[in-house]
Structure 1
Amino acid sequence: MRKLIFGMNLTLDGYIAAPGDDIGWSGGEGPDSSPSDELFQWWYEQMRASELTLYGRKLWEAMSSHWPTGDQRPNATQAEIEFARLWRDMPKVVFSSTIDQVDWNARLVTGDAVAEITRLKAEDGGPMDIAGATLAGAAMRAGLIDEYAVVTHPVLVGGGTPFFTALDTWVNLNLVERRTFPGGVVLTRYETRR
């Protein structure tokens, strides 16, 4: 059985995006800045350790608008070049009922996301990452997430898209890692108690 991991950058008040889908706060010291090299490397290693990434439409559109050519940008760092190449080659599943095709080693699922995620989890293989608040929320409510990687940035935005969804029952977790990155960013990883 595969492990399903939900990890994203979020604000101290629990949002993955401020109102208007603004994620400028996630870069570091100010709007439109980049994350620290150390944090960027951590995200790269997370993706490299995963066998499959599951995307909701919004995050898919954001990632696929940047990373397919991220290694060809004149100011791309070596880390960005490596990330772009890994992202392109990584198997991906995109869940959406509003788009009709995907590229970059991805396949599209337009039907029941929870049923498909359940099927993928039951397969043999390495870990899967789930990305996107709506998709992860459905998996969370269905009890499918095995690990949460919470990368908290020291900023309050007052509203937006929450990392956690409303749940019908409690989910008990075990802390498995805590790490600090430059700029006061804190990673906490939790495994779901089964």
Structure 2
Amino acid sequence: MRTLTFAMNVSLDGYIATPGDDLGWGVPSDELFQWWSDRVAATDVALYGRRLWESMSSHWPTADQQPGATPAQIQFARRWRDLPKVVFSSTTGVAVDWNARLVTADAVTEIARLKAEAGGTIDVGGATLAAAAVRAGLVDEYVLVTHPVLVGGGTPFFPVLGTWVHLDLVETRAFPGGVLMTRYETGR
């Protein structure tokens, strides 16, 4: 059975985006950017909600061809293109490419099916999609990359839950700029 991980940048007050989807507060240091790139390289498949997919697919497919692209950005773009991706959307007309496929059926059912397959890690991203996986009890690991900023509102990392989820801290790492990565496993 595969491991499903929910990993995102998060503000200290618990948000992954401000109202209006501003992510400017989460600009990574070179070290953190490399860490995210290495995560992409170690992931077997990435699951995206429509909005996160649109954000990522509007930049990374050609980021390595942009003037001034750094070696790290070139590496990330190549890794991202090669990574198998599943995009979940109920909106028709969502374009997918770059080693991705579109799923319009029930997300929880498809995520459970993917988890049951043989293979390695699955990353889930996008607030709505991740919330569905969290509520269904499908997430095995939570990785919070906490930035020292209070944004005051927006899209929360964690959805409202009907029950407690006990977690075990398994890893921490400090990055430049006061950023702290914490990784938790569910207490199953």
TM-score range, shorter chain: over 0.9
> How big is the alpha-carbon RMSD for the aligned residues of Structure 1 and Structure 2?
0.6
Alignment partners' CA distance in 1, 2:98 and 2:39: 19
Q: Is residue 143 from structure 1 mapped to residue 143 from structure 2 by the alignment?
A: no
Alignment partners' CA distance in 2, 1:132 and 1:85: 21
Q: Is residue 72 from structure 1 mapped to residue 48 from structure 2 by the alignment?
A: no
Alignment partners' CA distance in 2, 1:113 and 1:19: 25
Alignment partners' CA distance in 2, 1:131 and 1:174: 21
Alignment partners' CA distance in 1, 2:79 and 2:13: 31
SS in 2 for 1:66: coil
Alignment partners' CA distance in 2, 1:71 and 1:98: 29
Counterpart residue number, 1:52: 45
Poorly superposed stretches of 4+, deviation over 4 Å: none
For each residue in 1:137-173, what CA deviation from the matched residue of structure 2 results, as whole angstroms up to 9, or x when unmatched?
0000000000000000000010000000001111000
Alignment partners' CA distance in 1, 2:88 and 2:115: 15
Displacement of 1:97 in angstroms is: 1.0
Please list, as runs of the form range in 1=range in 2, the aligned pairs for 1:146-157 lying within 5 A after superposition: 146-157=140-151
Alignment partners' CA distance in 1, 2:55 and 2:186: 28
How does the TM-score come out when normalised to structure 1?
A: 0.95
Counterpart residue number, 2:9: 9
In structure 2, the CA distance between the partners of 1:68 and 1:99, relative to structure 1 (3 Å rule), is farther
Displacement of 1:89 in angstroms is: 1.0
Counterpart residue number, 1:129: 123
Displacement of 1:21 in angstroms is: 0.4
How does the TM-score come out when normalised to structure 2?
A: 0.98
Counterpart residue number, 1:30: none
For each residue in 1:81-135, what CA deviation from the matched residue of structure 2 results, as whole angstroms up to 9, or x when unmatched?
0000111111000000114331111000001000000000000001000011110
The unaligned stretches of length 5 or more in structure 2 are: none
Alignment partners' CA distance in 2, 1:46 and 1:172: 24
The unaligned stretches of length 5 or more in structure 1 are: 28-34
SS in 2 for 1:21: coil
Q: Is residue 43 from structure 1 mapped to residue 36 from structure 2 by the alignment?
A: yes
Alignment partners' CA distance in 2, 1:161 and 1:81: 29
Alignment partners' CA distance in 2, 1:40 and 1:91: 20
Question: Which one-letter code corresponds to 2:11 in the other structure?
Answer: T
